[in-house]
Amino acid sequence: VAATVPSHLHIKTHQARIQTRGTMKALDRVTSAAQAAGRYMAGQPGKADGGASEYLDQIANEIDPATRREALLCLRDACLDSIRAKESVGTVGIHTLISVLRDERDKKDLLAPVLETLVNCTQPIPNYEASVKGGNIADINADQLIRVPETIDLILGLLKQEDFYIKYNATLLLTILLRYNTELLQESVLSCPMGVVCILDLLAEQNAVRNEALNLLLLLSSGHTEIQKICAFEGAFVHLLEIIEEEGG
**Cα angle value 84/133/147 (rounded, 5°):** 80
Residue 47 has a pLDDT of 67
The CA-to-CA distance between both ends of the chain, in Å, stands at 109
State the average pLDDT over residues 66-95.
93
pLDDT, averaged across the chain:
82
Contact 215, 177 (CB under 8 A): no
Cα gap 141→32, rounded to integer Å: 40
User: Phi-psi category of 31—alpha, beta or left, where left has phi over 0 and alpha has psi -120 to 50?
Assistant: alpha
For the segment 135-191, what is each residue's pLDDT rounded down to a tens digit? 689 999 999 999 898 999 999 999 999 999 999 999 999 999 999 999 999 999 999
Cα gap 122→86, rounded to integer Å: 8
pLDDT bucket at 205, cuts 50 / 70 / 90: confident
Residue 28 has a pLDDT of 53
Contact 174, 213 (CB under 8 A): no
Residue 8 has a pLDDT of 47
Cα gap 117→109, rounded to integer Å: 13
Contact 157, 151 (CB under 8 A): no
Residue 127 has a pLDDT of 62
According to DSSP, residue 133 is labeled T
